[in-house]
Amino acid sequence: RVQQWAVSFGKEIAALSARYSGAKLLQKKYKDVEGVVTIEEVNGEELVKRFAEEMEEMLGRKMKSVKRLAEAAEDADLYHEYNETMEFDYFNALLINTVDEDGNAVPLGGEFPLEGNEHFNKLPVNTQMSNIQVPTNVYNRPDILNGAYMSEALNEVFIDNFQKDPTLTWQYFGSSTGFFRLYPIQWIPDENGVVTFDCRNRNYIQAATSPKDVVIVVDVSGSMKGLRLTIAKHTINTILDTLGENDFVNIIAYSDYVRYVEPCFKGTLVQADLDNREHFKLLVEELHVKGEGKVKNAMKESFKILNEVLGQGSLCNQAIMLITDGAMEDFQEVFEEFNWPERRVRVFTYLIGREMTFADNVKWIACNNKYYTHVSTLADVQENVMEYLHVLSRPMVINHDHDIIWTEAYMDSVQLFNTQAQSLLLMTSVAMPVFSKKKETLSHGILLGVVGTDVALRELMRLAPRYKVN
Ligand SMILES: *[C@@H]1O[C@H](CO)[C@@H](O)[C@H](O)[C@H]1NC(C)=O
């Protein structure tokens, strides 16, 4: 798979270079130097093949490092006994080198000499240690403290990996409990709302699930007005954030009738790449409520799409996300027709609001498909949406399917938070899921998180220099 990816990447670069070099310009220049130069034929295919091999070698090294991290994390968890009353001072990324009025290091701060490092875009870092980012809403929970303590074991591997492959950049462990251990230590100015940063939102969450087909069904009937609609929209956006370019998605809104938020995508699923996700978010923002909620037709439509794309999109992970404050219609027959007896499509229900006037039917769906969460405030959304990823990743967890994944390119977040950032840097992530190996959890499978490393696309470009492909 790496080779395939590298070949297509190499070809893309070749095509781009050809476009930009301007064949005419070359012709003219050639006239000036005719007689002085000789021309040597270059076999383009050979060249691309060689780039591909070099990329494969380079990425292979990264994969080895990531595998070492995954093994270390699984062992660390295996030998760690959970301690509900644990106290543990980890180093918090936002407090590194922060002092109080008396000049003493603040709790969780620590003192670390930082040095500008070429490998980290000249950012000041300390390569002796990693530190931890924790979103405020899960600050100092026992599971975070236990995870932070347990994952200290990774420090050694981070350093060792970096020594073995100095081209490595950021290495991380993103825990499914919500903390993020990042190597090396760096200084992050807290001015861009980093405190609310939740590593589980980042795209390497793709590492934790296989590709999926998702239809989001949202109730826009009259009762969904005000805060309910706001929570519903936030839930949709949060779900969209968990999807990547390996996933396929569509969004259906229903009241008296069923409509696609993007009519051009009627009856099908589209790739959940960044463009489509952003496009959906804009359309969702425009949703208004009106009329009565006729959920039956909306569910029927969703099952139909998923049936149609079967074998076309992502093979076996299909889900419908139903977001509503209660269903007035009984729609058992829809399930009978489309989803029984295999229950191939998983239906996740997000029930919005505090009081549940018409919730019985929705509860029925939940009971018959098992997945049901109650979302009454905006703050609930994140945790509830994360739950579905755990369900979808379960088969993979049980099979201990350690698939290496490559995420789509994204901006280096550390760069984004750094005011001195000279240029935006595109990165891709090489990541791998980490599972619990404890005997008592082996049978139902527990996903501990994801380990990975970032690779700058610039590194890859360096292997296929422009002048060679012109
Ligand atoms: C749990 O952690 C607390 C605080 O760090 C410690 O006092 C206690 O001995 C630990 N319990 C076990 C069973 O290790």
Render 114-166 in DSSP notation, one character per residue. Answer: -EE-GGGTT-EEETT--EEE--GGGTT-HHHHHHHHHGGGHHHHHHHHHHH-T
Which residue from 433, 426, 363, 355 is spatially nearest to 394, judged by alpha carbons?
Answer: 433
Supply the residue whose CA is at minimum distance from atom 12 of ligand 1: 83
Report how far ligand 1's centroid is from the alpha carbon of 440 (Å).
Answer: 22
Q: Is the pLDDT at 220 greater than 90, yes or no?
A: yes
Supply the residue whose CA is at minimum distance from atom 14 of ligand 1: 83
Report how far ligand 1's centroid is from the alpha carbon of 86 (Å).
Answer: 5
CA of residue 116 relative to chain centroid, distance: 29
Report how far ligand 1's centroid is from the alpha carbon of 138 (Å).
Answer: 21
User: Parallel, antiparallel, or unpaired: how do β-strands 171-175 and 180-183 relate?
Assistant: antiparallel
Q: How many CB atoms lie within 10 A of CB 40?
A: 5
Report how far ligand 1's centroid is from the alpha carbon of 397 (Å).
Answer: 30
84-141 confidence digits (pLDDT tens)? 999 888 888 878 888 889 888 888 888 888 888 887 777 788 999 998 887 665 667 8
Q: Is the pLDDT at 158 greater than 60, yes or no?
A: yes
Cα separation, 351 vs 322, in Å, equals 8
Cα separation, 127 vs 114, in Å, equals 9
Supply the residue whose CA is at minimum distance from atom 2 of ligand 1: 86
Cα separation, 316 vs 344, in Å, equals 8
Ligand 1 pocket test, candidate residues 81, 84, 85, most atoms within 8 A of CB? 85
Cα separation, 41 vs 217, in Å, equals 57
Atom of ligand 1 nearest to the CA of 87: 5
CB 173 within 8 A of CB 451: yes
pLDDT exceeding 70 applies to what percent of the chain? 67
The SS3 of residue 452 is: strand
Q: Is the pLDDT at 72 greater than 50, yes or no?
A: yes
Supply the residue whose CA is at minimum distance from atom 11 of ligand 1: 83
14-57 confidence digits (pLDDT tens)? 555 555 454 445 555 666 666 666 667 777 778 778 878 887 88
CB 403 within 8 A of CB 433: yes
Supply the residue whose CA is at minimum distance from atom 3 of ligand 1: 86
Task: Give 16's contacts (C-beta < 8 A, 6+ positions apart).
Answer: none
Report how far ligand 1's centroid is from the alpha carbon of 268 (Å).
Answer: 54
Which residue from 73, 61, 74 is spatially nearest to 161, judged by alpha carbons?
Answer: 61
* Positive or negative torsion for Cα 456, 404, 148, 158: negative
Report how far ligand 1's centroid is from the alpha carbon of 75 (Å).
Answer: 21
Supply the residue whose CA is at minimum distance from atom 6 of ligand 1: 86
Atom of ligand 1 nearest to the CA of 84: 1
Ligand 1 pocket test, candidate residues 84, 86, 89, most atoms within 8 A of CB? 86
Report how far ligand 1's centroid is from the alpha carbon of 83 (Å).
Answer: 6
Q: Which residue has the tokens 């006037």?
A: 357
Cα separation, 321 vs 318, in Å, equals 10
Which residue from 179, 204, 150 is spatially nearest to 437, judged by alpha carbons?
Answer: 150
Q: How large is the greatest C-alpha to C-alpha distance in the chain, in angstroms? A: 88
Supply the residue whose CA is at minimum distance from atom 1 of ligand 1: 86
Q: Which CATH number fits domain 211-386: 3.40.50.410, 3.20.20.80, 3.40.366.10, 3.40.630.10?
A: 3.40.50.410
305-356 confidence digits (pLDDT tens)? 998 877 554 455 788 999 988 766 777 788 788 877 666 788 888 888 766 5
Give the residues across from 405 on adjacent strands: 431
In the structure, which protein residues have their CB atom closer than 6 angstroms to any atom of ligand 1?
83, 85-87
Q: Where are the domains of the chain?
A: 47-204+401-462, 211-386
User: What pTM, to 2 d.p., does this model score?
Assistant: 0.64
User: Parallel, antiparallel, or unpaired: how do β-strands 371-375 and 345-352 relate?
Assistant: parallel
Model confidence at 366, pLDDT cuts 50, 70, 90, reads: low
Q: 456 vs 32, 259, 274, CA distance in Å?
A: 39, 41, 18
In our burial notation (b when 16+ CB lie closer than 10 A, e otherwise), range 14-31 reads: beebeeeeeeeeeeeeee
250-278 confidence digits (pLDDT tens)? 999 999 999 999 999 999 999 998 899 99
The pLDDT, as a whole number, for residue 73 is 96
Atom of ligand 1 nearest to the CA of 83: 1
Cα separation, 211 vs 125, in Å, equals 35
Cα separation, 373 vs 329, in Å, equals 19
Q: Is the pLDDT at 420 greater than 50, yes or no?
A: no
Give the residues across from 7 on adjacent strands: none
User: Parallel, antiparallel, or unpaired: how do β-strands 124-126 and 115-116 relate?
Assistant: antiparallel
174-216 confidence digits (pLDDT tens)? 888 878 898 988 766 555 544 444 444 454 455 556 678 899 9
Report how far ligand 1's centroid is from the alpha carbon of 386 (Å).
Answer: 30
Report how far ligand 1's centroid is from the alpha carbon of 338 (Å).
Answer: 52
Report how far ligand 1's centroid is from the alpha carbon of 85 (Å).
Answer: 6
